[in-house]
Amino acid sequence: LPLEDQLLVERSKKGDREAFEHLVKMYENKVYTIAYRLMGNHADAADLAQDAFIKIYQALPNFRGDSSFSTWIYHITVNVCRDELRKRQRRPTFSLDETTENGSTPNELRSTMSTPEEELERTETQAMVQQCLNNLSDDYRIILVMREIQEMSYEEIAEILGLSLGTVKSRLSRARNALKEKISKQMELLSPGHRLAK
């Protein structure tokens, strides 16, 4: 951890509001991105990223620097989102953002409609990938975000999810395959011929 960050963490621990706000500024993109990838829509992502930062604020006095600060806060973020997803599984909610595999227009795409063609294609692909991610089961989505976006090791994932290494490996393998199936299908749909036909 760079010295400046270390100082900010120390000051925040003591309740320095400004220092904490500075830390938020430094990490909000990453935290928000994790929340968005896991939750699949901006409204939930904003809520849960805020919840995560509140948790971080409350837990700061317990942060000892055993892990890096960024690792620590990303773990908290994943856990906050997991808890929420678990809650919803018990009591399913219906969101307008949840759409079927075809023809969805996520916020991300809608807001960037005016960008140049290449940019549009890129974001369209990105939106498609997010959409495929959204359509996976929570377990698969969580493990993929941890591994591919947060770049956690098998061991870290095993520890956070409370799984054995074997289970992590097999679940990751199945999750990747499920994502591959969805993306491959979408790629066919997005192929130029198909798009013209639309």
Binding site for other proteins (CB under 8 A): 14-15, 17-18, 20-21, 24-25, 28-30, 32-33, 36-37, 42, 45-46, 49-50, 53-54, 57-58, 61, 108, 125-126, 129-130, 133, 144, 148-149, 154, 169, 172-173, 176-177, 179-180, 183-184
Provide, rounded to whole angstroms, the least separation between the CB of residue 18 and other proteins: 7
Q: Which is nearer to other proteins, 50 or 167 (CB)?
A: 50
Contacts of 98 (CB under 8 A, 6+ apart): 40, 41, 134
Residue nearer to other proteins on the CB measure, 70 or 125 = 125
Q: Which is nearer to other proteins, 16 or 91 (CB)?
A: 16
For 63, the enclosing helix (H) or strand (E) is none
Residues 108, 127: Cα–Cα separation, whole Å = 7
Report the candidate in 131, 122, 137, 132 with the shortest Cα–Cα distance to residue 182. 132
- What Rg value do the Cα atoms of the chain yield, rounded? 19
Query: Rounded distance, CA 183 to CA 128, Å?
Result: 8
Nearer to other proteins, 42 or 88 (CB): 42
Closest CB 103 distance from other proteins, rounded Å: 19
Which is closer to other proteins, CB of 11 or CB of 90? 11
Using alpha carbons only, give the angle 130, 133, 139 rounded to the nearest 5 degrees.
145
- Look up residue 186 and give its amino acid: Q
Residue the block writes with tokens 């809520």: 47
The least distance separating other proteins from the CB of residue 132, rounded to whole angstroms, comes to 8
Q: How far apart are CA 132 and CA 57, in angstroms?
A: 33
Residue 122 CB, nearest approach to other proteins (Å)? 9
Shortest reach from residue 141's CB to other proteins, in Å? 10
